[in-house]
C-alpha cells in the first residue's frame, strides 16, 4: 500500500483542528492511517485570522505525519488535501483566500487543495452512501445544510452568533445568564439557576456588584460566543432537573433547530429526510437532542434524527479522494 496516494482531510474548528491522513486503496476509498490535532482557527478577517488558519493546518499535519511515522509508513508527499473550516463560505472571496493560504501552509499546488465550509465536509461525512438528507449542527454556533437526490443543496443559519445563534450552545448560555440578571433586579422569580451560573463565573449572588461585573465580563474580547456557550451545560443540567425556566430555554433552541431542518426539507422537497445531528450541543445535551426530535415531528412529520455515517474529517477525506482521482485523470497545469 506504500505506493498508494497519500491524502489528508482537515476539520478546522474554532477550538481545535483535526488532520486525518489516509491512502487510497484499489476502489478509491480512503484507508485511514493516522490522526492528530492542532490549534483552532478563526474567521480569516478576524485579528490574526490568516496566521491562525495556516498555523492550524501546518501544526496538525506535522503531528499527523509524526503519528504516521510511528506506524512505519513512508513520508510521501500529499496527493491532495481537503479542508472544512469554520467561517468559509462557498463561492466567496474568503474561500479563495483560504485556498491560497492552505496551499502555502501544506506546501501543495493550489490545484491539489480544496477549502470549503466545515458544514459541507460534515454533511459529506454524515451522509455516507445516502443520497439525500439534512445535517443539523449545534455547537458554539449552529447551521443546517441539506441535499436532495439530485445533488442540490440548501443551507439555513450559520450567520454568526450576533445575528443568528438561535439553537446554539451560545444562545442557551446567554439566555440563561440574561435571565439571572432579571432575577437579580426583581423582574423574575429567583431560582437556583442564578447561583449555578454566577458561581461558574466566580461571582456571588449576595454581592451587589456582581451584576455590574457580569455586564463588564461579557464584553471582554476573550469572552464572546465561547464564554456564553460554556454556560449551556449548566442551563441544561437545571432543565434535566425540571427547572421550568431552563426547560423553556432548551425548548426554544430545539424549536429553532427543528425549524431550520424543516425549512431545508421544504426547499429541497424532502418528505421524510434523515436528519443527522452534529456538534457538541447535540452530542452532549441529551434533553436538547430529544426536544429537537419532538419539535421535528411537530413541524415536519417524517423527518427523523439518525446518527451520521461519519464525521467532518471523514467527509474531508472523501472530498480529497475525489480531488486526487480527478488530478490523476487530468495532468496538473504548471504551478
Q: Are residue 320 and residue 298 in the same domain, yes or no?
A: no
Please check whether residue 36 lies inside any domain of the structure. Answer: yes
Q: Are 106 and 57 in contact (CB under 8 A)?
A: yes
SS3 155: strand
From the list 79, 56, 130, 76, the residue with the least C-alpha distance to 317 is: 79
Please check whether residue 150 lies inside any domain of the structure. Answer: no
Q: Are residue 161 and residue 288 in the same domain, yes or no?
A: yes
Q: Are residue 257 and residue 316 in the same domain, yes or no?
A: no
Q: Are residue 161 and residue 237 in the same domain, yes or no?
A: yes
**What's the residue count for the chain?**
335
Please check whether residue 47 lies inside any domain of the structure. Answer: yes
Q: Are 320 and 111 in contact (CB under 8 A)?
A: no
Lowest mean pLDDT of 78-87, 201-210, 279-288, 324-333, name the range.
324-333
- State the pLDDT confidence band at 253, using cuts at 50, 70 and 90: very high
Grid cell locating 269: 422537497
What pLDDT is stored for residue 146 in this prediction? 97
CATH number, position 19: 3.30.420.40
Please check whether residue 134 lies inside any domain of the structure. Answer: no
Q: Give the model confidence (pLDDT) of 23-52 as tens digits.
A: 988 776 788 999 999 998 888 988 889 999
**Burial class (CB within 10 angstroms; exposed 0-12, middle 13-18, buried 19+) of 272:** exposed
Residue 76 pLDDT more than 90? Answer: no
Q: Give the model confidence (pLDDT) of 100-138 as tens digits.
A: 999 999 999 999 999 999 999 999 999 999 999 999 999
Q: Which helix (H) or strand (E) holds 193?
A: helix 192-200
Grid cell locating 125: 461525512
Residue 303 pLDDT more than 90? Answer: yes
Q: Are residue 299 and residue 315 in the same domain, yes or no?
A: no
Write down the pTM of the prediction.
0.86
Please check whether residue 213 lies inside any domain of the structure. Answer: yes
Q: How many domains does the chain fold into?
A: 2
What pLDDT is stored for residue 14 in this prediction? 76
Please check whether residue 137 lies inside any domain of the structure. Answer: no
SS3 143: strand
From the centroid of its chain, how far is CA 236? 20
Q: Given phi > 0 = left and psi -120 to 50 = alpha, else beta, which region is 70?
A: alpha
Q: Are residue 33 and residue 49 in the same domain, yes or no?
A: yes
The string of DSSP letters for 214-258 reads HHHHTTSTTTHHHHHHTTHHHHHHHHHTT-HHHHHHHHHHHHHHH
Q: Are residue 314 and residue 299 in the same domain, yes or no?
A: no
Please check whether residue 147 lies inside any domain of the structure. Answer: no
Instruction: Tell me which residue range forms the domain holding 320.
Output: 6-129+310-329
Q: Are residue 160 and residue 294 in the same domain, yes or no?
A: yes
Q: Are residue 300 and residue 189 in the same domain, yes or no?
A: yes
Q: Are residue 299 and residue 202 in the same domain, yes or no?
A: yes
Q: Are residue 59 and residue 24 in the same domain, yes or no?
A: yes
Please check whether residue 17 lies inside any domain of the structure. Answer: yes
- Of the CA atoms within 13 Å of residue 184, those in its CB half-sphere come to 23
What pLDDT is stored for residue 335 in this prediction? 43
Maximum Cα interatomic distance, the chain, rounded to a whole number of Å: 71
Mean pLDDT value across residues 250-260: 97
Q: How far is CA 272 from CA 119, 153, 254, in A?
A: 21, 16, 19
What pLDDT is stored for residue 74 in this prediction? 61
Q: Give the model confidence (pLDDT) of 137-186 as tens digits.
A: 999 889 999 999 999 999 999 888 889 878 999 999 999 999 999 999 99
Q: Are residue 173 and residue 80 in the same domain, yes or no?
A: no
Amino acid at each position: 500500500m506504500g505506493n498508494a496516494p497519500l491524502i489528508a482531510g482537515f476539520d478546522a474548528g474554532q477550538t481545535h483542528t483535526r488532520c486525518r491522513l489516509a491512502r487510497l486503496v484499489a476502489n478509491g476509498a480512503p484507508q485511514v492511517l493516522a490522526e492528530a490535532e492542532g490549534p483552532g482557527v478563526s474567521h480569516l478577517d478576524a485579528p490574526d485570522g490568516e496566521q491562525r488558519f495556516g498555523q492550524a493546518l501546518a501544526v496538525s499535519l506535522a503531528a499527523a505525519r509524526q503519528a504516521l511515522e510511528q506506524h512505519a509508513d513512508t513520508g510521501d508527499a500529499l496527493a491532495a488535501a481537503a479542508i472544512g473550516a469554520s467561517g468559509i463560505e462557498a463561492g466567496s472571496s474568503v474561500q479563495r483566500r483560504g485556498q491560497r493560504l492552505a496551499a502555502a501552509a501544506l506546501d501543495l499546488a493550489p490545484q491539489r487543495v480544496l477549502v470549503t465550509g466545515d458544514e459541507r465536509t460534515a454533511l459529506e461525512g454524515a451522509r455516507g452512501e445516502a443520497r439525500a438528507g439534512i445535517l443539523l449542527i449545534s455547537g458554539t454556533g449552529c447551521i443546517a445544510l441539506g441535499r436532495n437526490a439530485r445533488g442540490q443543496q440548501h443551507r439555513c443559519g450559520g450567520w454568526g452568533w450576533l445575528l443568528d445563534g438561535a439553537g446554539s450552545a451560545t444562545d442557551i448560555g446567554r439566555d440563561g445568564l440574561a435571565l439571572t440578571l432579571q432575577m437579580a433586579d426583581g423582574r423574575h422569580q429567583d431560582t437556583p439557576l442564578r447561583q449555578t451560573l454566577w458561581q461558574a463565573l466566580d461571582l456571588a449572588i449576595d454581592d451587589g456588584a456582581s451584576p455590574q461585573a457580569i455586564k463588564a465580563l461579557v464584553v471582554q474580547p476573550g469572552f464572546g460566543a465561547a464564554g456564553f456557550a460554556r454556560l449551556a451545560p449548566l442551563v441544561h443540567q437545571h432543565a434535566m432537573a425540571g427547572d421550568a425556566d431552563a426547560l423553556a430555554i432548551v425548548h426554544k433552541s430545539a424549536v429553532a433547530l427543528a425549524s431550520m431542518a424543516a425549512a431545508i426539507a421544504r426547499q429541497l422537497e424532502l418528505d421524510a429526510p434523515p436528519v443527522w445531528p452534529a456538534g457538541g450541543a447535540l452530542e452532549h445535551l441529551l434533553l436538547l437532542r430529544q426536544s429537537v426530535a419532538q419539535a421535528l415531528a411537530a413541524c415536519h412529520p417524517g423527518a427523523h434524527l439518525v446518527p451520521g455515517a461519519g464525521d467532518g474529517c471523514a467527509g474531508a477525506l472523501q472530498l480529497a479522494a475525489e480531488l486526487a482521482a480527478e488530478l490523476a485523470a487530468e495532468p496538473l497545469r504548471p504551478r
